Each structure stands twice: as structure tokens, then as C-alpha cells.
Amino acid sequence: MGRRDPSWDPAPAGAGAGLPRVAWGRGCYVHDATGRRYLDASGGPAVFCLGHGHDEVNAAIARQLQRIAHGYRYTFTSDPLEELESLVTAAAGPELEGMVFVCGGSEAVESALKIALQYHSARGETARRRFIARRRSWHGNTLGALAVSDFSARRAPFEGALVDASFLPSVNAYRPPAGVAVADLAAHAAGELEAEILRVGAERVAAFIFEPVAGAAGGVVPAPAGYAKRIREVCDRHGVLMIADEVMCGAGRCGTWRALEHDGVVPDVCAIAKGLGGGYVPLGATLYHRRIAAVLDAVDGGALTGHTFTGHTLACAAGVAVQTIVKRDRLVERVARDGEAFRAALGAELGGIGAVGDIRGRGFFVGIELVRDPDTREPFDAELQLSARIGRAATARGLLLYPVGGNVDGVSGDALILAPPFNAPADVLDEIVGLTGHAIRDALRSL
């Protein structure tokens, strides 16, 4: 049995050390084997963009299984693969014409790192091997993705086997560096990146990887205004690739299909997963710019990052069904529109709770940060495990959310993530707001 995420024990009240046994789900609700119902307010880890048990998606999966589960990508192409490529290109933009489908987010990031290295090698710049990332970022569980992630509890057992990477301070408008005004934060952060590139030597830096909206490690921290454009300029100036990790925040979650659309920036490489297939079949993808594709195709015949289940036929069929529904029902536009109202409702519900320091996010990707002192923004003591307490209090009330610990410095800090389905009805969003308020108050009383 695998170990639980060390940042949170999600066992419900009264369940001891055990986890409930999932039985079935429909829409925004999940039921366990005892008949208990849970409102899935975080979509697991921001995965279930259409909720559970969607009849159209299930039917598409069943139809594909009647034909063939998978045609090996390096022997066959397939209708689902080509249809999903077309849908993703239309949604992500024509610049990102290179595409590799994988089984999830960690693989998508791993492939992004490999594509960056392959690109530099193909151009004869084999010294470009260093990656730069930011603190309080999470990029995945594979060794390469873990090496560019700053999540100490998840890294600790593997230290010594991870490749060296540079880490810059996190960029958070709620917690700007001392003496730096929020209006100057983008310029300050870009300066930090350029200084590190120059320190390492631009000829040795392969890429800068970041989350446009930092998720699991930061507690939903959107990039400040102007940040992504300034980072783009720095990377271009020094021949460093920009990798956008949109595994959690992309595929419509933030109210634009690519999270960086909000910032008016196109990355060189982009990792997506989660909402791409909606959690129905494991699916992720690495997208890369046409100018990178041209180099890889000319020198190596393509990206050297395929594997047995690349472009898995059944997974692509599920992805086609999910993305067809998202496009047809204009769900990304709905997320953009209703996300602001959702955050406003949370603000109204939680406004009287002094420990709620910040409510932030984009679209249906919302973070709530808890602080001991709202004036100084001092976090609660890590030993209190407040986010875990709130997670248990929420589960006791039949609400599933995503608690985050250590979001300030890797040890201290408590935040909550809400990521409801794109098609969640208004009354369900209202229920999430009310139950979240109750859970926070319950946990604070327990202190």
C-alpha cells in the first residue's frame, strides 16, 4: 500500500487510520461503500472537470472498448488520437503544434524536460542542462519532475538521487518580498531569474519551469500581473526555454483553456493533464512550439519521449469526449464568468473569519489561505496542522476539499484548494461555499 500525501490525512471523522471505500459517483457527488455521500468540491486534485459518471463520456469509452482498447502508437495512428490532436490544437493555439500524449501530469512534465534537453542537443548546445524553478512549486513524482519541485516532504526520501536545479523564491502577491511593492513584483521576479541565469551561465541553462497558477504546493497562487511577459523576455534574451506546467491550472480550469492565455504569453513547452481527460482515463500531454518541433523533426525525427502507452487509444477517446463537451457547452467561458461570482460568495461567507487571510485564484481554481494574524500575515504553527484539521472537519460534513500544508516556507502555512467541476450547478456552488465556512469554523474551534 502506498504512503499517503504527508501534507494531509484525508480520513473522515470516525474512520480512524482507514480511508473510506469509494463505491460510485454522479455529477458533483461521490458515494462510499457505506452509503455516505460527499460533495467533491476540489475534483479530487482538480481533475474531475465534468464531475463523475457523465453519460456521454462513459458511452464514448464503451464504444471505443468495443473496437480496440489501444493501438500501439508506433505501429498505428487512430481516429481518437487525431481527433484529440485537432481539439487540443484548436484550444491551445496553432503555435503549439508539437504534441505527445502520455498517461498523466508527472509524465507530461518529464517529457517537457526531455524535450527541452533534446532541443538544445539537436542545436549543438549540449552544455544546456540546468533547470531553474521556483520555491513552493510542484511538478510531479517522477525523478526529473521531482528534481524541479519544491515540496520538501515529498522530496526528502529521494535526496541525493535528484539532479541539481536552481530554485528562486516563490512569487506571491499576498506575500511579496520585504521592501518590494506588489506593483513591482513582476519586475523583481524577472530580475531574480535573470540574475540566476547569469550566475549559472546562460550557456548552461536549458529552461525555466513554472506554474502560471501555483497549485498543490502553494495553495493556488496566480502569477502577478505582467510576470509571465517579463519572464518570457528574460528567457528569450538568453536562449532559455520557458516551460509552463499547466497540469493543474490548465485545460480550462482558470477560465482560459491555457492558463497562460490570461497573461498573453505562449510558452515554448506546456504540460497539461487532469482536466484534459477529466479523470475518466489517465491522460496527459506535452505540447511544444512549432519552432521546437521543426528542430526535433529535422534532427531526430521527432520528440524522443514516447513509451508503450503514448497516445493510448481509449484514453484519447475519453479525452475527445471530454473536450467535445467542454467546447460544445462553452464551459471554459462559464468558468471565466462564474469563477468571479464564486470567489465573491466565498469572500462574503468567510469575511467574518479573522483567520482567513487571502482568497485568490482564477476561474474555478480557488485558494484560501489561513493566517494566525491577518495584519502581519503570520501563519499558524505547523504543529497545529490546521489545514489537515479543516480537511477532516469538511469530510465530516460531507465535503471534499484539498488542504495544503507548508505553503509559506515548506513547513508553516495552511491553505485550502477548491476546484469544482466546470458544469457544477449554481446551487452546488452555493453548497460548497456554505460547507467550507462551516468546516473552517469547526476546525478553528477545535484549536
Tell me which DSSP letter residue 373 carries: B
User: How many C-beta atoms surround the C-beta of residue 107 within 10 A?
Assistant: 28
Per the listing, cell 521556483 goes with: 134
Residue position matching grid coordinates 541539481: 164
Predicted confidence (pLDDT) at residue 250 exceeds the cutoff of 70: yes
Residue 162, pLDDT above cutoff 50: yes
| Residues with Cβ within 8 Å of residue 63, at least 6 apart in sequence | 317
- What residue type is 272 in one-letter code? I
Give the pLDDT confidence score for residue 18 in this predicted structure: 81
Each residue of 391-444: pLDDT tens digit? Answer: 999 999 999 999 999 999 989 999 999 999 999 999 999 999 999 999 999 999
Query: What are the structural domains of the chain?
Result: 22-53+330-446 (3.90.1150.10), 58-328 (3.40.640.10)
Distance CA 109, CA 209 (A): 9
Orientation of helix 386-396 relative to helix 426-446, angle to 10°: 130
Residue 9, pLDDT above cutoff 80: no
| Structure confidence at residue 14 (pLDDT) | 36
Q: What's the rounded Cα separation, in Å, for the pair 414 and 218?
A: 9
- Those residues whose C-beta lies under 8 Å from the C-beta of residue 317, and which sit 6 or more positions away, are 60, 61, 63, 64, 80
Strands 37-40 and 29-32 turn out to be: antiparallel
Across the range 20-28, mean pLDDT stands at 96
153 pLDDT band, cuts 50/70/90, is confident
CA dist 267 and 163 (Å) reads 23
Nearest to 346 by CA among 435, 221, 217, 222: 435
**395 HSE (CA, 13 A, CB side):** 21
The Cα 26–Cα 431 span in angstroms is 16
Identity of the amino acid at 305: T
Residue ranges in 123-249 assigned as alpha helix (H): 143-147, 152-155, 185-200, 227-238
Strand partners, 210: 244
Residue 4: its pLDDT value, please?
A: 42
E-strand spans in 353-409?
A: 356-362, 365-370, 399-400, 402-405
Query: What was the pLDDT predicted at 17?
Result: 53
Q: What confidence score (pLDDT) does residue 152 get? A: 83
CA atoms within 13 A on the CB side of 208: 30
pLDDT per residue as tens digits for the range 212-231? 999 999 999 999 999 999 99
| The three grid cell numbers given for residue 344, joined into one nine-digit string | 465573491
* Bigger pLDDT: 327 vs 153: 327
| Rounded CA separation 94/288 (Å) | 10
Continuous segment of H or E residues that includes residue 133: strand 130-134
Cα separation, 61 vs 80, whole angstroms: 11
Q: What sign does the CA torsion over 74, 111, 6, 390 have?
A: negative
